[in-house]
Structure 1
């Protein structure tokens, strides 16, 4: 118990305090603390709600960006397929061109080979003819020399001189 001489104060001994004192003090503490606690909790709730809204907005923005990126990826994949198709068409065209050129070169090679063979045959025939003519001339000259005597030789020279005089 608090004596009057001691002044006003709180008695912290729960067994000595009476229920009436507690009934007056506790509602006062609850009403003052309630407003402060309610204000703190409201501020905290607003911050949490604001953070949730912000997170939701960021999530929606990220979702939109993800959808845009997926559509860009799909477009890029289509472009890749188109480029691959064009590349395959180009490769096929190049292979056909290569085959065509190879065939043309092979045909030209065959033509050149045949031309070379023909020219070599003509060269051999020409050489053979020249050798044949040379052998024929040699045999003719040998035949003439073997038959020609001095009288026939003089007759031949006179005929040549006469032929030269008539042409002048």
Structure 2
């Protein structure tokens, strides 16, 4: 207490110091001392908590990046497989389409050949039928003419006798 009394007597008593520079430096030193003494453990704990939070966030971000990278690689692999499958399906469909086209063309060709053969057979049978009819008609006309000529010749009595004689002579008599 002696210091306080001494200060009070020399300064003119207890009062407020209005010199801003002296009071700010003194107040700042007191606050820093109190903060350093009491706040060191709290501030250290806060900083270590913050540090561990940041480290865990970085670790989680790295894990998420690794997972995302793995998912991207898997997705790219699936895309490549899907593209390969699509290309295989496209090539197979083109092959199938070409094969179907060739089969249709071959069947069409075979059908055309069958139709041509059937038409040729029809024409041939029609031609044969027409030839047979013509032959019958020619034979009938020839027989009619021969009969008519024979009738004319047989009407003559002398001619009949000579004809009969000739037939008998040919028969051997």
**Whole-angstrom distance in 2 between the partners of 1:63 and 1:12:** 66
Task: Look up the match of 2:96.
Answer: 90
2:70 equivalent to 1:41: no
Matches within 5 A, 1:8-157: 14=20, 17=23, 23-148=29-154
Higher relative contact order (CA 8 A, sep 6+): 1
Structure 2 segments unaligned to the other structure (5+ residues) = 1-6, 9-16, 158-173
Give the 3 Å change call, closer, same or farther, for CA 108–21 of structure 1 in structure 2.
closer
Task: Look up the match of 1:162.
Answer: none
Structure 1 segments unaligned to the other structure (5+ residues) = 3-10, 152-168
Identify, as 1 or 2, the structure richer in helix.
Answer: 2
Deviation of the 1:145 alpha carbon: 4.3
TM-score (ref. length: structure 1): 0.65
Partner-residue secondary structure (3-state), 2:99: helix
- In the TM superposition, what whole-angstrom CA distance separates every residue of 1:50-71 from its partner, at most 9, and x where no partner exists? 1221121011011111111111
Size of the alignment, in residue pairs? 144
**Whole-angstrom distance in 1 between the partners of 2:91 and 2:53:** 56
